[in-house]
């Protein structure tokens, strides 16, 4: 890891800082209460993801606690929450039922090691290649995911669930107009819970999702043979977890950057995610990555901005399930469903689907956004959607740029020479047709190709120029290439003649 320059430190400096939050009672209250809301929201999700991964609910709960607390100190994106996630659960799900819990934990630890290596190698720099249309598609697909994931708590449930969810939504809409000192989601959870307890309404509660742990997490050293065979079993799952986890975490960090108008150190976030996963595994957790739903609850709904909220989310999660587990068990799922629905509505980029936006936006950009959303929804995998969206965007970009190359032909007054002026970027997509744009047989003996308005980007273009020269040479004509910039000259000088 390279040392940060003075400019880097200024760019990545948190705003506001933890010290500023500690000195401001108002800001500190906001951060702590945001952490409490996020901690509450993590409970049902962690339990649900544990079920998906085929492990005991306490595995997901302990993982969320350990990762949230560790990333609060290590992470490169203040206020972002890391915990057990559905994306990681889906990737690692086959391990525990097939090979047992020891192999499961070993997979989590190895995934963390892979993430540390990828972080040190600078994988975060690849984020610059993700277009905005893919980012919008990622956000919209995630919002749809968050919304649709609430359906199991709404279908075939007692009818009182629906008015309770509606009550929670109304509270979150009205509360910010009254005061923003206390996060609206927390007020909503308290009011809905109070109504259920006061009137003894029989609806599903957090306790119905699974048994909450009663003790601290313990060290879990996996009892697996340290052999190549073990590595070949767990490595594919570990690599999948590491890639999916990093992609979701870095995209979430980028989203929080935009919301807060600040910068995050994504290289630091990458290896920090790895360390958090290793710690999670060592204490018997299932691993995870950044959770965009809970992060949006903290950052967008509750106004969190510092590491304090992330740390408090982990601490409150632990206290709520271990110390106050009996009370937390009574919280109706309707209260948390209402919070998640509002998060989904707030996270969706409604501007991207407005008729005026769609009319103004290039069709290729809209197509990439829709393709990303559809890929995520069909595969139920955010990583597949993002990679697919980037590929679609790349193909459309290459196709669009390939048509920007133009060739104009001018014959000298005496008819002894001809000049071809090439304008545009020359690479594999545009240079493949370059050889067809010359009039070989009808041209005079002296041919000049002017590349002043173009640039050679790859070997395909050098090969195309070599082919043009070869065709003219076969007809006894000479070719002079002029106007190349220094970079193009160096590439052609290094590669020309190497394709025969």
Domain spans of the chain, in order of start: 18-353, 406-495
Q: How sure is the predictor about 11, in pLDDT bands with cuts at 50, 70 and 90? A: low
What pTM was estimated for this model as a whole? 0.70
Q: End-to-end alpha-carbon separation of the chain, Å?
A: 43
Query: What is the percent of the chain with per-residue pLDDT over 90, rounded to a whole number?
Result: 44
Q: Which residues of 359-398 are buried (b: 16+ CB within 10 A; e: fewer)?
A: eeeeebbbebbbbbbebbeeeebbbbbbbbbbebbeebee
The mean of the pLDDT values for the chain is: 87
Q: Per residue in 170-218, pLDDT tens?
A: 998 998 888 776 778 888 888 999 999 999 999 998 888 777 777 778 8
pLDDT at 111: 96
User: What is the structure's pLDDT at 100?
Assistant: 92
| Segment 84-122, tens digit of pLDDT | 987 788 788 889 989 999 999 999 999 999 999 999 998
- Alpha carbon of residue 439 to chain centroid: 50
Give the pLDDT of residue 500.
56
pLDDT reported for residue 1? 43
Q: Any long-range contacts for 362-370 (C-beta under 8 Å, 24+ apart)?
A: 364/393, 364/396, 364/397, 364/400, 365/133, 366/133, 367/392, 367/396, 368/131, 368/133, 368/134, 368/137, 368/392, 368/393, 368/396, 369/133, 369/134, 369/136, 369/137, 369/140, 370/137
Q: Look at residue 499 in the predicted model and tell me its pLDDT.
A: 55
More confident residue, 57 or 245: 245
Task: HSE, CB side, 13 Å, CA atoms: give it for residue 163.
Answer: 6
- Six-digit token pair at 367? 């197509």
Please check the confidence at residue 6 and state whether its pLDDT lies above 60: no
| Residue 347, pLDDT above cutoff 90 | no
Considering the domain 406-495, what is its CATH architecture? 2-Layer Sandwich (3.30)
Classify burial at 474, counting beta carbons within 10 Å of its beta carbon; exposed 0-12, middle 13-18, buried 19 or more: exposed
Confidence check: pLDDT of 2 > 60: no
pLDDT classification of 363: cutoffs 50, 70, 90: confident
Contact 392, 371 (CB under 8 A): yes
Q: Which tens digits make up the pLDDT trace of 270-308?
A: 999 999 999 999 999 999 999 888 898 889 878 889 999
Residue-level pLDDT at 189: 86
* pLDDT at res. 163: 95
Find the mean pLDDT for residues 29-43: 89
pLDDT attached to residue 432: 76
- Residue 400: which pLDDT band, with cuts at 50, 70 and 90? confident
The closest alpha carbon to 186, from 342, 81, 306, 73, belongs to 342
Determine the average pLDDT of the residues in 60-76.
94
Give the pLDDT score at 297. Answer: 84
pLDDT at 104: 95
């Amino acid at each position: 890891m390279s040392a940060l320059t003075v400019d880097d430190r200024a760019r990545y400096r948190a705003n506001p800082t933890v010290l500023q939050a500690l000195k401001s009672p108002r800001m500190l209250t906001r951060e702590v209460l945001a952490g409490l809301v996020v901690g509450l929201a993590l409970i049902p999700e962690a339990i649900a993801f544990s079920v998906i991964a085929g492990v005991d609910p306490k595995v997901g709960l302990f993982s969320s606690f350990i990762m949230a607390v560790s990333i609060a100190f290590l992470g490169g994106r203040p206020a972002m929450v890391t915990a057990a996630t559905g994306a990681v659960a889906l990737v690692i799900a086959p391990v525990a039922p097939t090979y047992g819990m020891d192999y499961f934990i070993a997979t989590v630890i190895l995934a963390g090691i892979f993430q540390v290596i990828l972080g040190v190698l600078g994988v975060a720099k690849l984020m610059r290649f993700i277009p905005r249309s893919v980012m919008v598609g990622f956000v919209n697909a995630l919002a749809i995911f968050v919304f649709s994931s609430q359906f199991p708590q709404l279908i075939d449930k007692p009818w009182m669930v629906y008015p309770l969810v509606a009550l929670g939504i109304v509270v979150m809409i009205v509360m910010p107009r009254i005061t923003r000192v206390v996060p609206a989601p927390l007020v909503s959870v308290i009011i809905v819970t109070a109504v259920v307890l006061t009137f003894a309404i029989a609806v599903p509660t957090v306790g119905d999702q699974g048994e909450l742990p009663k003790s601290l997490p313990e060290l879990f050293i996996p009892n697996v043979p340290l052999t190549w065979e073990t590595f070949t079993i767990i490595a594919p799952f570990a690599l999948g977890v590491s890639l999916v986890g990093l992609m979701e975490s870095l995209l979430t960090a980028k989203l929080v950057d935009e919301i807060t108008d600040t910068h995050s150190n994504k290289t630091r976030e990458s290896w920090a995610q790895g360390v958090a996963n290793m710690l999670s595994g060592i204490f018997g957790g299932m691993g995870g990555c950044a959770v965009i739903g809970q992060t949006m609850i903290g950052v967008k709904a509750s106004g969190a901005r510092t590491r304090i909220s992330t740390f408090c989310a982990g601490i409150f999660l632990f206290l709520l399930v271990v110390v106050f587990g009996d009370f937390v068990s009574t919280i109706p799922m309707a209260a948390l469903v209402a919070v998640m629905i509002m998060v989904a509505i707030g996270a969706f980029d409604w501007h991207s689907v407005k008729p005026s936006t769609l009319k103004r936006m290039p069709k290729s950009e809209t197509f990439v956004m829709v393709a990303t959303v559809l890929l995520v929804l069909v595969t139920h995998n955010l990583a597949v959607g993002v990679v697919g969206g980037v590929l679609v965007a790349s193909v459309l970009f290459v196709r669009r740029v390939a048509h920007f190359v133009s060739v104009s032909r001018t014959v000298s007054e005496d008819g002894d020479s001809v000049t071809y002026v090439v304008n545009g970027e020359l690479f594999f997509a545009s240079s493949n047709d370059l050889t067809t744009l010359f009039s070989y047989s009808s041209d005079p003996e002296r041919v000049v190709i002017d590349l002043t308005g173009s640039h050679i980007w790859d070997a395909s273009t050098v090969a195309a120029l070599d082919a043009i020269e070869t065709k003219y040479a076969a007809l006894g004509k000479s070719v002079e290439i002029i106007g190349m910039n220094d970079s193009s000259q160096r590439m052609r000088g290094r590669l020309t003649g190497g394709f025969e």
